[in-house]
Amino acid sequence: MSELKEYITQEQENGAIFISQDVIATIAAVAASEVEGVCALAGSQGGEFSDRFSKKSIAKGIRLSQNDNDEICVECSLIAQYGYSVLDLAKNVQEGVHAAIESMTGLKVASVDVNVSGINMKK
């Protein structure tokens, strides 16, 4: 498996389409963040207010790679909200990220690995 290049290229009959890996990571980050029980993506907490909501930091906690078949492999690191089933939350993140990337980019997603790296105790 290799890290993604800066752009993923899709050949079409009328020419090529180039999709930035930042676009794919942002799609994954937003999809993961929308799952009920996800407090934050790991790596996106703390820092300056402006840093937390910049385009660069929204995809922190998302790592992308490509397998030998040029399928996308996603790794999401997140903080769960206390009181939610970690297993159910992780499954929902996998389904949401997978569906969002495939429907918005047309790229095939091979896997979505979810690392729950913490629990937020605040209610």
CA distances from 4 to 21, 27, 34, 39, 68 (A): 7, 15, 24, 27, 12
Per-residue confidence (pLDDT) for residue 59, from 0 to 100:
80
Nearest CA to 33 among 114, 123, 122?
114
**Angle, CA of 2, 117 and 99, to the nearest 5°:** 55
CB 104 within 8 A of CB 31: no
- Along the 123 residues of the chain, how does pLDDT read in single tens digits? 555 558 887 888 999 889 999 999 999 999 999 999 999 998 744 444 334 444 556 788 999 998 888 899 999 999 999 999 999 999 999 999 999 999 999 999 999 999 999 999 976
Q: What is the DSSP string of 52-71?
A: HTSHHHHTTTEEEEE-TTS-
Per-residue confidence (pLDDT) for residue 4, from 0 to 100:
52
Phi-psi region of 110 (alpha: psi -120 to 50; beta: other; left: phi over 0): alpha
The Cα–Cα gap between 87 and 73 comes to: 20
